[in-house]
Structure 1
Amino acid sequence: MQHVRVWQRSLRGGKPTHTTGSNLLTLDLDGDGDQDILTARDACPELVSLTNQGTAAVASMTSASLNTNFPSAAAPVRVINFPAGYYLDVTFDGRPDLIAAPALFDNHDQVSTSQSVRLYENGSPTAVPSFTLRQPDFLQGEMIDVSEAAAPAFGDLSGDGLPDMVVAGTDRRAAGYAAYLHYYRNIGTATEPNFQRVSDDYLALGAKNTRVSSPCWLI
């Protein structure tokens, strides 16, 4: 179900009809020199666009300019909960791209934040941006991603004299929202470790439905 609230009148003299808990990003989506809006609200996955039908001095945004499938119907922005948009150049080509990520600070909804940062690359050389989904796990795909509350500990679990790694994290899976231990064996050396994942539910901790924040240091 989509939950979208829009302004019924122009922003001058009007008032919003949405509840609290919203994100706003202003940028010029159509190259006409005024600011349009990308907005989202709590408990919703969509980042929707509202085109400014007024001017740079007097903005006017109505439901007629609402696009719930921004930037395209083929690859609309969908984030697990409460998307926030960021307009910045992360591909270093001189054109600002769009990053969408959940704006969660306490995760009371208990959702998985694994693979949740979307990169939409701006491929347009003009003032009208054109966004294409390039990566669903921006930055996360290049690191150990255990959703949230990651806490590592090291010790020789395999008995080969090398320090292995266990990373605790809290995630939502089929069994529910719980803490899990991720076991990475060191297949390198003591001075140049190389960690290879062995298990994403070490000791079957997930079935215990705990909320462990960090493992004990291993000896």
Structure 2
Amino acid sequence: MWENTGDFEFRAWADTLRDASGAAIFSDRQNISNALDLDCDGRLDLMIGRLDGTVSRYEATKLQGEGVPTFELLDDTFEEIRIVAQITPSARHGANTLVFHDADGDDDPDLFWGDFFEPGLLLIENRGTCDAPDLTGAPQPFPLHDPVRTSGYNAPTFGDVDGDGGLDLLMGVLGGAFNANATTADNLLYFEQVEGRYELRTRRYLTQIDVGSEATPAVLDLDGDGDPDLVVSNKIDPDDLSTSRLHVLENTGASGDPAFRLGGTLDVRGAYHNAPAFGDLDGDGRPDLVLGTWRDELRYLRNEAGPDGSVRFAMVDSAFVTLTRGSNATPALGDLDGDGDLDLLVGESSGHINFYRNEGSPSSPRFVLVSDEWGGIKAERRSVPALADWDRDGNLDLLLGSEREGVRLFLGEGAAQEPRFVETDRLLPPDRAPAYSAPLPVDLDGDGDLDLMVGGVGGGLYYFERAGAP
């Protein structure tokens, strides 16, 4: 519990909520509880939804303002509520969220319920009074005139979003039993309250970069204007669940002051978990594409750019490289043996790094496996490598993302023909990095040093500006 000390500042007030005997009060970890003065007696009531679809009610033993409250259990099956979704072949219940709000303006709080096995938002109207609540009625889909449907596990909250004095509804979609991949981007719904009715205005209230899930960024000058654009892939595209897509973010800003706008997608389809790496593999001066997939193969697409310099990729080989083990192939290109051509590192689900040396000609690459446990470097799971001269000493360095370990840095030392990579302090510890971190070192602000962009499990991008010497 945190106390509001004013000016949007909070301080820890209690390590956990406890009952009158001092025992900790537990909630199922998937459930979102709610606290309010339900019966207008000046004491907080703690309402906890349970996995069996029931509600437990606790009441504080102190009046509000008398210090950290302790709670007494009043009812383990409050109002005999039992939310059970009727799903063939049998009824189910599961993780849930609950919140109270006076939706009908009769001065008593009504109950809103979201559930893993419920695609909508349920309302149980309070038919009693402030000091004698009655929530025994049947749940109704909400909004009443046009019920919302999502992938399920909906989490509502009410507040004055538009500043007109009325309480509107924001609803997060945590993703339940009804194809959660479909709502990895359409996951924050805004309903405006208009004369007592709640009208859906948008399913994407926050207009930030969001490609769905497991964003993997890469940088490339896509339109030939000399500044870096971004290509961001995903696990499964929320607008087309049959594939992953490569989303284009065109840089429309000035040098050193980038600004990005969504510019559609590259015409590359046919696999899940696309992970791009760009580099000139055929010696024509144009960046080609090596594309990792959720399987164990990587694809090679040649850049057949038009006269205006814009890129256009054509498939050369859909199984250009096949891993010896693992899946979720994630490539990085760089000259690791000092012979002037691009070699290949591949991260994958086991956490190891696979090294393929380029033994082809300048116009026709041929990658040969050197090691599938390269350098003894390993992430716990889902290794995501990136190569760049991070410390500006002329040697390539390795940045390594993973499922839960943040972003690690390995500095390249020794001769260019036989580099060694030595781990230093983490660039981003786990508590500062998203899960499934996909690092991209890039100088977006034009100051001559590399900053860090990181894709994450939520489908967004994190940007960290470099501070101080490399």
Establish whether TM, by shorter chain, passes 0.5. Answer: yes
Instruction: Name the CA distance, whole Å, in 2 between partners of 1:16 and 1:44.
Output: 13
Deviations 1:74-102 (A, max 9, x none): x3222232111110111122322111120
Residues 121 and 154, structure 2, Cα contact 8 Å, conserved in 1: yes
**Alignment correspondent of 1:67:** 140
**In the alignment, is residue 162 of structure 1 matched against residue 234 of structure 2?**
no
Instruction: Name the CA distance, whole Å, in 2 between partners of 1:49 and 1:123.
Output: 18
Aligned partner letter, 2:107: G
Deviations 1:178-202 (A, max 9, x none): 54321223244323434344442x3
Aligned partner letter, 1:16: R
Paired-residue identity, %: 27
- For 1:135-214, list aligned pairs within 5 A: 135-139=202-206, 142-170=207-235, 171-176=237-242, 179-200=244-265, 202=266, 204=268, 206-210=269-273, 211=294, 214=438
After superposing the two structures, state which structure 1 stretch, 144-153 or 207-216, moved more. 207-216
State the shift of 1:58 in Å: 4.2
Shift of the 159–50 alpha-carbon distance from structure 1 to 2, 3 Å rule, reads: same
Instruction: Name the CA distance, whole Å, in 2 between partners of 1:17 and 1:123.
Output: 29
**In the alignment, is residue 53 of structure 1 matched against residue 120 of structure 2?**
no
**In the alignment, is residue 16 of structure 1 matched against residue 89 of structure 2?**
no
**Alignment correspondent of 1:101:** 172
Residues 163 and 190, structure 1, Cα contact 8 Å, conserved in 2: no
Q: TM-score scaled to structure 2, two decimals?
A: 0.37
Residues 116 and 175, structure 2, Cα contact 8 Å, conserved in 1: no
Residues 153 and 218, structure 1, Cα contact 8 Å, conserved in 2: no
Instruction: Name the CA distance, whole Å, in 2 between partners of 1:146 and 1:98.
Output: 24
Mark the structure with the bigger radius of gyration.
2
Shift of the 82–160 alpha-carbon distance from structure 1 to 2, 3 Å rule, reads: same
Residues 118 and 133, structure 1, Cα contact 8 Å, conserved in 2: yes
CA RMSD of aligned residues (A): 3.4
Residues 175 and 207, structure 1, Cα contact 8 Å, conserved in 2: no
State the shift of 1:218 in Å: 7.0
Shift of the 169–54 alpha-carbon distance from structure 1 to 2, 3 Å rule, reads: same
After superposing the two structures, state which structure 1 stretch, 184-193 or 93-102, moved more. 184-193
Instruction: Name the CA distance, whole Å, in 1 between partners of 2:213 and 2:184.
Output: 7
Instruction: Name the CA distance, whole Å, in 2 between partners of 1:196 and 1:30.
Output: 41
- For 1:26-37, list aligned pairs within 5 A: 26-37=100-111
Instruction: Name the CA distance, whole Å, in 2 between partners of 1:180 and 1:30.
Output: 44
Shift of the 63–216 alpha-carbon distance from structure 1 to 2, 3 Å rule, reads: same
**Alignment correspondent of 1:134:** 201
Aligned partner letter, 2:144: S
Deviations 1:141-192 (A, max 9, x none): x33331233354434344442111122333345453x543212232443234
Q: Unaligned regions of 5+ residues in structure 2, if any?
A: 1-52, 56-76, 85-92, 274-293, 295-327, 329-435, 444-470
State the shift of 1:131 in Å: 1.9
State the shift of 1:49 in Å: 0.9
Aligned partner letter, 1:133: L
Q: TM-score scaled to structure 1, two decimals?
A: 0.72
Shift of the 173–60 alpha-carbon distance from structure 1 to 2, 3 Å rule, reads: same
For 1:111, what is the secondary structure of its paired residue?
Answer: helix
Q: Unaligned regions of 5+ residues in structure 1, if any?
A: none
Residues 155 and 217, structure 1, Cα contact 8 Å, conserved in 2: no
Instruction: Name the CA distance, whole Å, in 2 between partners of 1:79 and 1:108.
Output: 9
**Alignment correspondent of 1:110:** 181
- For 1:76-87, list aligned pairs within 5 A: 76-87=147-158
State the shift of 1:41 in Å: 0.8
Instruction: Name the CA distance, whole Å, in 1 between partners of 2:163 and 2:216.
Output: 32
In the alignment of these two chains, the number of paired residues is 200
